[in-house]
Chain A
Amino acid sequence: MSDATATAVAESPQHGGATPPAKGGRWRGDLGESITRNLGLLGVLALLIIIGAVTQPDLYGDSSWVWSNVLSILQLASVVGVVTVGMTFVIIGGGIDLSAGAIVALAGVWATTVATQSYGAAGMIFTAIIVGTIVGLVNGVLISYGRLVPFIATLAMLVAARGLAAQISGKQTQVSANTFINGIAANKFLGIPILVYIFAGVVIVGWVLLNRTTFGRRTVAVGGNPEAARLAGINVKWHSLLLYALSGLCCGIAAIMLTAQANSAQAAMGNLYELDAIAAAIIGGTLLSGGRGTIIGSVLGVIIFATITNLFAINGLPVEIQNMVKGGIIVAAVLIQQFRFKSVTQFFARNKVTTT
């Protein structure tokens, strides 16, 4: 590698070197920086699209099909995407939420019970969001004030929430008869499904919350160094509690989206969504130990997973291999990040000294 390239890379904002550390955390960047930092992920996405085009030239040659496929991928990503936004906050704040998928199921099943359905769409949406948030709050209380390890508390909630969901639904698939709810998935606005707007809305709110508010700065601070955050005057316990409630809230929104898509809810819905969300966040560069992460990165992670699923389906390849590929991508992403944030930083830092 030439010296010039090395300098260019070292001065790029990839590892925060060129961006002045913002108040409350050096990873509080703007949209442009998020995109630059996620160039690798965009590269992977581009590669997947090229693979798709090469393997299915007929389909990719039809522009109307390509557009419908893009929407299909976005719809596929939307529900997990919303869960992932909440999960990203929890992980940046130094926690983890293993109960996310179970909260989706519980909120969905509760929203489709006959009692709630009789109150109409507004009642169902309200119920799902309230149930999700309350379960998140319970997680938060157990972790912040009950001093349970997040892993244990949310694992317990995973089991309990699915149990409750099975109990409420009578172990049956509860069909949603509400045309407004079902229409959330079936209808489009300006040619784009409503679900995609909801997904985009949650992403934008999440991005603003993380990057442009005190709440976001505190999240990074709490996850990066809780003790320092406490000494700086942040109520760490209260803040963690809010993060779990936020995750629960996102799960509630996701539950309505999923119910709309499947026209039904049952206790098994949202199965393993928590792992998909955690994987997407990690691929997107969120540090599992907390203190660093971006919403854009997480969203790209979700979209990459959805694109892989789509690519395999279009080529008629088995799901098993697809899962193996996904596993490989998670490992590769983490390895690349470690390499990028440690070795590369040091390597280029040394090079930078010699070239300037």
Chain B
Amino acid sequence: MTQQARDLSRRRLMFGGAALGAGALLTACTSNDASAPEGQTKVADASAAAPGKPVTIGFSAPAADHGWLAAITTNAKAQAGLYSDVTFKTVEAGADAPAQLAALRTLIAQKPDVIVLLPHDGKELNAFGLEAMKAGIPVVNLDRAFPDALAYRLQIKGDNYGMGVSAGKYIGEQMKAKNIANPIIGEIPGIDSLELTSERSAGFKAELATFGFSVARRIPAEFTADTGRVAASQLLQALPKIDAVWNHDDDQGIGVLAAITQANRSEFIMVGGAGSKAAIDAIAADNSVLKATVTYSPSMASSAITLARLIGQGKGMSDLVELQVPKEITLTSETITKENASTYAKLGF
């Protein structure tokens, strides 16, 4: 892009912004009339999907003990299978960060074109990202962000904070609609030592605060049905009356719902997290306390493979104007309720 073109575009943006402030009519005029310099606009073409240079994608995700993680690996593999020009090499990450690091080193030795990786913890594997990038292998970080911007070519992740906000918003609105002034709200997060958990809780807390509400009790589980059951039974015991519960994860939600049924409690509404098939079905059926779930879809793994392929081939995303894949992509967290459950059913895992 020439200096002149850049200046032009900036000026156009500034003008557009000013016009927006002045009035809608004026904005319409400016945006319609101004013709953009060449290369600043385009209509999507199909060239990105056409077979191109062969790309080997190395993939690593923690050993799945959980539906969401299992779906991540399954999706990645399936998406890679859709491209005739992609060779997919997967190494399992083992039980912890050092084990994943060891597995990734064997992957580097196989010289893939791109590495897609869901780290146990982004902070712990940041050094690996730096190392691989230095060795000329672009790294696509899936979901658990690296703190160092030099450690990755692309980061694609769910919106953890936004997930908390969506859950808080739904609960807040429901409480307002029911005219409950001081609702008793419980929270069952997942593994508490993960940054994503604190982001989710922070978003939840902040959004609830806008309604003047707060969390009465928060008992963490470990993302499994078994631990969710224990946490929920303790939460129910601690709070004899509850108005709403946010459970961060639909897989652990199986256990949470079991505990709620066993305790014979139904005076509250529950919101889930992630968007599992079982949760979407339960919301559609509308026969339990689960009334909504906020998405954190493992479909991001499929997108990560698609983008890794484009990075390997030096292509951009055909709907974007940019010639290359952007550096950061954060999905939005949507709220699935009885009304829109059918739309999301196909994304359930």
Q: Are A313 and B262 in contact (CB under 8 A)?
A: no
Q: Whole-angstrom distance from the CB of A318 to the nearest CB of chain B?
A: 8
**Considering only CB atoms, which chain A residue lies closest to B63 in the complex?**
A166
Looking at chain B's contact residues, the main secondary structure is helix
Q: Are B220 and A319 in contact (CB under 8 A)?
A: yes
Q: Are B237 and A175 in contact (CB under 8 A)?
A: no
User: When each residue 168-206 of chain A gets 1 if its CB lies under 8 Å from chain B and 0 otherwise, what string results?
Assistant: 001111010000001001100000010000000000000
Q: Whole-angstrom distance from the CB of A306 to the nearest CB of chain B?
A: 10
Q: Are B238 and A314 in contact (CB under 8 A)?
A: yes
Please list the residues of chain B having a beta carbon within 8 angstroms of any beta carbon in chain A: 63-67, 69-70, 73, 192, 217-220, 222, 224-231, 233-235, 237-238, 240, 251, 254-255, 257-259, 261-262, 278
CA distance A270 to B231 in the complex (A): 14
Q: Are B70 and A171 in contact (CB under 8 A)?
A: yes
Most central of A171, A185, A309 by chain B CB within 10 Å: A171
User: How many chain-A residues does the 8 Å CB contact rule pick out?
Assistant: 37
Q: Are A263 and B225 in contact (CB under 8 A)?
A: yes
Q: Whole-angstrom distance from the CB of A317 to the nearest CB of chain B?
A: 10
**Considering only CB atoms, which chain A residue lies closest to B349 in the complex?**
A172
Is A240 part of the binding interface, using a Cβ–Cβ cutoff of 8 Å?
no
Q: Whole-angstrom distance from the CB of A84 to the nearest CB of chain B?
A: 16
Q: Are A266 and B224 in contact (CB under 8 A)?
A: yes
Q: Are A62 and B240 in contact (CB under 8 A)?
A: yes
**Considering only CB atoms, which chain A residue lies closest to B221 in the complex?**
A319
Q: With A171-B65, A173-B66 in contact, is A269–B238 under 8 Å at CB?
A: no
Q: Are B255 and A262 in contact (CB under 8 A)?
A: yes
Q: With A263-B254, A266-B65 in contact, is A172–B70 under 8 Å at CB?
A: yes
Is A121 part of the binding interface, using a Cβ–Cβ cutoff of 8 Å?
no
Q: With A76-B233, A316-B218 in contact, is A262–B228 under 8 Å at CB?
A: yes
Q: Are A263 and B257 in contact (CB under 8 A)?
A: yes
Q: Are A319 and B240 in contact (CB under 8 A)?
A: no
Is A65 part of the binding interface, using a Cβ–Cβ cutoff of 8 Å?
yes
A313 interface neighbour in B65, B227, B237, B259, Cβ under 8 Å: B237
Q: Are B65 and A182 in contact (CB under 8 A)?
A: no
CA distance A166 to B258 in the complex (A): 22
Q: Are A264 and B225 in contact (CB under 8 A)?
A: yes
Q: Whole-angstrom distance from the CB of A184 to the nearest CB of chain B?
A: 10
CA distance A271 to B278 in the complex (A): 23
B258 interface neighbour in A72, A182, A267, A316, Cβ under 8 Å: A182
Q: Whole-angstrom distance from the CB of A157 to the nearest CB of chain B?
A: 17
Is A261 part of the binding interface, using a Cβ–Cβ cutoff of 8 Å?
yes
CA distance A170 to B259 in the complex (A): 25
Chain A residues closer than 8 Å to B217, beta-carbon distance? 313, 316
Is A310 part of the binding interface, using a Cβ–Cβ cutoff of 8 Å?
yes
Chain B residues closer than 8 Å to A268, beta-carbon distance? 65-66, 222, 224, 226
User: When each residue 298-320 of chain A gets 1 if its CB lies under 8 Å from chain B and 0 otherwise, what string results?
Assistant: 00000000000110011110110
Is A332 part of the binding interface, using a Cβ–Cβ cutoff of 8 Å?
no
